[in-house]
Structure 1
Amino acid sequence: MHIPKGYRFAATKASFKYEGKLDLGAIVSDTPAIAAGVFTTNKFKAAPVLQCQEMLADGRKMSGFLMNSGQANACTGDQGRANCRETLNLAAKALGVPADELLPASTGVIGAQFDLAKWEAAMPALASSLGEVGPEETAKAIMTTDTVHKIAETSFEIDGNEVRLLGICKGAGMISPNMATMLSFIVCDADISTEAWQTMLTDCVNLTINRVTVDGDTSTNDCVMALANGASGVAIETEEEYILLRKHLLTILEDLAYKIVMDAEGGTKVAFIQVSGAKTDHDAELVARAVGNSPLVKTALFGSDPNWGRIVCAAGYSGANFNAEDLVLKIGGILVFRNGTPEPGDMDDLLAPIMAERDIVIHLDIGEGSGSSMLLASDLTKEYVAINADYRS
């Protein structure tokens, strides 16, 4: 694994919810780094989200991330904010970085206050793991209902000098833009201005993480944060260099977004819902989200049932502005519906092999406009119900 220069990873078992599980992690940059973040739009923002937004507001450099699973520290009021700050003080002392340069993130059950005694007890092990573990262990420390840890990496060269990017994330349920219920951390060893890094991250998140759905729920704790520490010696200054870095950041986030939907709680399918021909991008997005969030469409995907009528129905109630007779539906490249009527032939037989695949492309053209959108959606399974019925046990 090509880890960006100047970063060290840490992870340990703090027993926040389960014994014997990695649930506390950190990423530390050897030198303060340019930082950017994109956060949940939920009105009930968790204490670490509020803390990060406050810390990033003045554009100062940051030295790393502190992350935990098991407890969300959301809907915990002033005590939750105070506890969040105290965990930063504890970790900063253990890791050797300033507390006001450590960005926190939490995931887990909403409402419970931190047990600070567990945090304090875990600090020596967290500190001793710094630089001794890799991104895999840190990625495992933020898993909740995830079945696999999620990592993406890429690199490129500018004038013979290599720039590396690496991202980790968690996310499997309570997933829907804006944003998906997930934590994501990206590290890069290029040098770039704060404004350009923030703009780049926001743009790339909108094209990736904000275009996935598992169940239509948006969490209190969602965040995507990124550091760029300049340790490669490569400065991003020209338009061509900016475009190149953006391309690779987009690649990281595309990879992580797909892995989230692929690992959806109980999920067995990933639907690539593509909408074109809309009067506006907004109309296209309305259709994509209506189809991707429809329980009937999602359960049909789980059953490998080519019930295209559910897709057309969802487009019809989406609120998008289009004429019904203009809609053209293709599933896996096979023309299924146009001019207000199904295509002739045995669609069940034609679509059976397509519906059996894990990845299924659903394309709706709804008119003659230039608006378009894309959404990744999971199916909805019996296992999803079982996982979320017992989530707190």
Structure 2
Amino acid sequence: MKIPQGFRFSAAQAGFKHQGRYDLAAIVSDRPAIAAGVFTTNKFQAAPVLQCKALLAKSDTMRGFLANSGQANACTGEQGMENCRESLTMAAQALNLEADTLLPASTGVIGAHFDMDKWRNAMPELGRNLPTGTPEDAARAIMTTDTMPKIAEAGFQLDGGEVRLLGLCKGAGMISPNMATMLGFICCDANISAEAWQIMLRDCANLSFNRVTVDGDTSTNDCVLALANGASGVAIESEDDYMLLRKHLLEVMEELAYKIVMDAEGGTKVAFIEVAGARTDEDAELVARAVGNSPLVKTALFGCDPNWGRIVAAAGRSGANFRAEAMVLKIGGVLVFRNGTPEPGNMDDLLAPIMNERDIVISIRLGTGPGSAMLLASDLSRDYVSINADYRS
């Protein structure tokens, strides 16, 4: 794995919810780094989200991230804010940093206060592991119902040398980010302006993490945080440089977004929902989300049932402005519906091999307009219900 220059990783076992596993992580830049962030639009924003916003409003230069799983520190009032700030102070001392240069992120059960003794007891291990920790250690520490750590990397050459990108994220349930229960962290060793880095992160988040859904729920804690520390010595100066960095950042974030849906709680399918020909992008997105969040569509996917009528019905109730007779539906490239009527032939037999694949492309054309949208969606299985029924036990 090619790790961006100037970044170190650490993880510790704090026992916030489970024993014998990492649940506290730190990612540290050896030098001040340009910081950017995008955050949940949920009205109930967790203490770490509010603290990140406050820190970034004061400075666009940071030194690292501090993240924990097991406790979301959401809906915890002023005590939650105080606990968040105290955790940053303790971590900063263990990592030899200033507290206001660490961006916090938390995930877990909403409403639970931090056990500050557990934070205090974990700090020596967090500091001790910084010289030898790995990105996988940090990625494992932020997992909740995830079944695997989620990491993506990229590298490319500019005239000044190689630029490297590394991304980590967690997320398997309560997934329908609107930013900006996912957390994402990006490390980059390029030298880039704060304004350009923030714009790039937001644009790429809109095209990746904001284009996935597992269950239609937007968390209180969703955030994607990014640092660019310039340790490679390569400056992003020209428009071509910018576009090349943006291309690779988007690839990293798209790979992470796919891994979230692939690892959805109880999930067995990833539906690539492509909508085109809409009057506007907004209309296209309404259709994509209606289909991707439909329990009937999702359970049909789980059952490998080519019940295309559920897709048509979801599109029709989406609120998008289109003519019903103009809609064309393909599943896995097979034309199944147009002109308001199904195509002739035995669709069950034609679609059976497609429905048994893990990745399934659902293509919807609404007309001849310029609007389009794409969404990755999981199926809905019996295991999803079991996992979330027992989540707090």
Tell me whether the two structures share a fold, i.e. TM-score over 0.5.
yes
Residue 50 of structure 2 corresponds to residue 50 of structure 1:
yes
Paired with 1:62 and 1:87, the residues of 2 have a C-alpha distance of 16
For residues 246-285 of structure 1, the aligned pairs below 5 Å read 246-285=246-285
Paired with 1:163 and 1:66, the residues of 2 have a C-alpha distance of 24
Shift in Å, 1:342? 0.0
Residue 183 of structure 2 corresponds to residue 187 of structure 1:
no
Aligned residues: 393
Letter in 1 for 2:207: L
Paired with 1:49 and 1:349, the residues of 2 have a C-alpha distance of 49
CA deviations on 1:166-203 (whole Å, 9 max, x unpaired) are 00000000001314920000000000000000000000
Residue 136 of structure 2 corresponds to residue 136 of structure 1:
yes
Shift in Å, 1:159? 1.1
Q: TM (normalized to structure 2)? A: 0.99
Is the 8 Å Cα contact of residues 322 and 366 (structure 1) preserved in structure 2?
A: yes
Equivalent residue, structure 1, for 2:370: 370
Letter in 1 for 2:245: L
Equivalent residue, structure 1, for 2:336: 336
For residues 139-150 of structure 1, the aligned pairs below 5 Å read 139-150=139-150
Shift in Å, 1:57? 1.3
Equivalent residue, structure 2, for 1:298: 298
Paired with 1:59 and 1:312, the residues of 2 have a C-alpha distance of 49
Equivalent residue, structure 1, for 2:25: 25
Shift in Å, 1:119? 0.4
For residues 202-281 of structure 1, the aligned pairs below 5 Å read 202-281=202-281
Q: Percent identity?
A: 75
Is the 8 Å Cα contact of residues 10 and 26 (structure 1) preserved in structure 2?
A: yes
RMSD of the TM alignment (CA)? 0.7
Question: SS at 2:298's partner residue?
Answer: helix
Paired with 1:362 and 1:58, the residues of 2 have a C-alpha distance of 45
Is the 8 Å Cα contact of residues 160 and 235 (structure 2) preserved in structure 1?
A: no
Q: TM (normalized to structure 1)? A: 0.99
Letter in 1 for 2:293: N
Paired with 2:364 and 2:177, the residues of 1 have a C-alpha distance of 20
Paired with 2:158 and 2:372, the residues of 1 have a C-alpha distance of 33
Is the 8 Å Cα contact of residues 9 and 135 (structure 1) preserved in structure 2?
A: yes
Distance 1:180 1:218, change over 3 A: farther
Paired with 1:389 and 1:114, the residues of 2 have a C-alpha distance of 23
Is the 8 Å Cα contact of residues 275 and 288 (structure 1) preserved in structure 2?
A: yes
Question: SS at 2:74's partner residue?
Answer: coil
Is the 8 Å Cα contact of residues 150 and 259 (structure 1) preserved in structure 2?
A: yes
Question: SS at 1:136's partner residue?
Answer: helix
Shift in Å, 1:328? 0.1
CA deviations on 1:63-110 (whole Å, 9 max, x unpaired) are 000000000000000000000000000000000010000000000000
Residue 312 of structure 2 corresponds to residue 312 of structure 1:
yes
For residues 42-81 of structure 1, the aligned pairs below 5 Å read 42-81=42-81
Instruction: List runs of 5+ in structure 2 lacking aligned partners.
Output: none
Letter in 1 for 2:122: A
Is the 8 Å Cα contact of residues 180 and 205 (structure 2) preserved in structure 1?
A: no
Letter in 2 for 1:104: P
Paired with 2:27 and 2:339, the residues of 1 have a C-alpha distance of 55
Equivalent residue, structure 1, for 2:9: 9
Is the 8 Å Cα contact of residues 179 and 218 (structure 1) preserved in structure 2?
A: no
Is the 8 Å Cα contact of residues 59 and 194 (structure 1) preserved in structure 2?
A: no
Paired with 1:17 and 1:59, the residues of 2 have a C-alpha distance of 33
Is the 8 Å Cα contact of residues 329 and 335 (structure 2) preserved in structure 1?
A: yes
CA deviations on 1:277-298 (whole Å, 9 max, x unpaired) are 0000000000000000000000
Letter in 1 for 2:68: N
Question: SS at 1:57's partner residue?
Answer: helix
Letter in 2 for 1:145: T
Shift in Å, 1:160? 5.5
Equivalent residue, structure 1, for 2:289: 289
Instruction: List runs of 5+ in structure 1 lacking aligned partners.
Output: none
Letter in 2 for 1:376: L
CA deviations on 1:348-384 (whole Å, 9 max, x unpaired) are 0000000000000000000010100000000000000
Paired with 2:281 and 2:213, the residues of 1 have a C-alpha distance of 18
Is the 8 Å Cα contact of residues 177 and 222 (structure 2) preserved in structure 1?
A: no
Question: SS at 1:224's partner residue?
Answer: strand
Paired with 2:282 and 2:362, the residues of 1 have a C-alpha distance of 18
Letter in 1 for 2:136: E
Paired with 1:97 and 1:241, the residues of 2 have a C-alpha distance of 32
Paired with 1:29 and 1:112, the residues of 2 have a C-alpha distance of 30
Residue 124 of structure 2 corresponds to residue 106 of structure 1:
no
Paired with 1:231 and 1:87, the residues of 2 have a C-alpha distance of 28
Is the 8 Å Cα contact of residues 180 and 218 (structure 1) preserved in structure 2?
A: no
Shift in Å, 1:59? 3.6
Letter in 2 for 1:329: L
Distance 1:33 1:127, change over 3 A: same
Distance 1:39 1:304, change over 3 A: same
